[in-house]
Amino acid sequence: MTDQAARPRKQEQEPASEEIVELAPGVLRSQLPISMPGLGHVNCYLLEDERGVAVVDPGLPSKDSYVALEARLKSAGYPLKRVHTVIITHSHPDHFGGAGWLHAQTGAEIVTHRKFRMMWDPTEPPDVDVEDMAPTDPAELAPDEPFEHVRRFPWETTPWGGPGVDIPLKRRLWFRAARAFPQLRKMPVPTVRLDEANIITLARREWVAVHTPGHTDDHLCLFDPTEGCMLCGDHVLPTITPHIGGMGTSRDPLGAFFHSLDKVATYGPQVKIALPAHGQPFADLAGRAQEIKLHHEGRLEKLRTTSIELSRPASVMEMSTHLFSPRVQGAMADSETFAHLEHLRLAGDMERRSNDGVFEYVVAG
């Protein structure tokens, strides 16, 4: 029995259910199948009103996903033509994938955060923390954000000087085509972009936009003060943690994530039910946000301790071997290690040096 087989399956990894469940007035949960590292489904919420239905996070850009989405809508009592709005919590393909197709079929509005963008970088990290993934070829991971601060192609190098990801030529060309001709790939183009504290009417009541960068720069949560619902996307998941990596454009994605966790925790007393993009709804949003924060703070302390024990500068790749188990070693583990090391550096706890183009870190002082 392998290490992965021996590990209990977490609720985010459960296969998609075909059941439609009402979680709050006018809020239905459907699930769409996905096959991604550490994930078995995406929660696609249906928000009902007199015009029809708004769809939150409509799954992957694939024919199988479109068929499943149309079937879930039919089970909920809605033909495709009654979809009037699509909300995308963030720019990962298991969340935005069906939006362009829905817009083409129905003319639905596409709602995102103001910073939403898709650059379709083949080395985009996974949705979930690398420790919650099975060993996976990085070339099969879902794409999204760019290396805007790296001039070369992202598969040739990493921001910290490590080896890039070997992407087959055919796959590289697919992503370039998607970037150059988004209409052919049914890529979504937002028609409504929300900013912090903007109001949007869904399910016959007002919801408040809550910008929660960290997992991605454009991550959007929505809070319903009337019924106490919080649409969380991937920001706060019930039993796993989202991937916080260093391959995007944010200077300190982990710092942004901590700030966003603190932000949603302030809503805790008002939140009766948190609605994550994967896994089951849960009640204690503030408590879960604190658990996730403590998880990452434990990793920061591990890096400090490791640096002291090594008593010398070490590369991101070497530090990663002390932070993550062997089953998940690779570019994505290095990416998350880099994000943590940069957070420590910016806080004054680590010093960074460049050794022939490779970043090395040592505890400050």
User: Which domains does the chain show, CATH number per domain?
Assistant: 3-118+184-291 (3.60.15.10), 311-363 (1.10.10.10)
More confident residue, 121 or 275: 275
Task: Say how many residues make up the chain.
Answer: 365
Give the predicted TM-score (pTM) of the model. Answer: 0.87
More confident residue, 61 or 203: 203
Q: Cα separations (Å) of 177 from 90, 221, 232, 344?
A: 22, 30, 31, 38
Query: For residue 163, what pLDDT band results from cuts at 50, 70 and 90?
Result: confident
Is-contact 145 347, C-beta < 8 A? no
DSSP 190-227: -SEEE-TT-EEEETTEEEEEEE--SSSTT-EEEEETTT
Chain-wide mean pLDDT for the chain?
Answer: 87
Is-contact 136 329, C-beta < 8 A? no
Residue holding tokens 């090391």?
341
DSSP 287-323: HHHHHHHHHHHHHHHHHHHHHHHHTS-EEHHHHHHHH
DSSP state of 152: S
pLDDT single digits (tens) 348-359: 999 999 999 999
Q: How far apart are the first and last CA of the chain?
A: 45
Percent of the chain residues topping a pLDDT of 90: 73
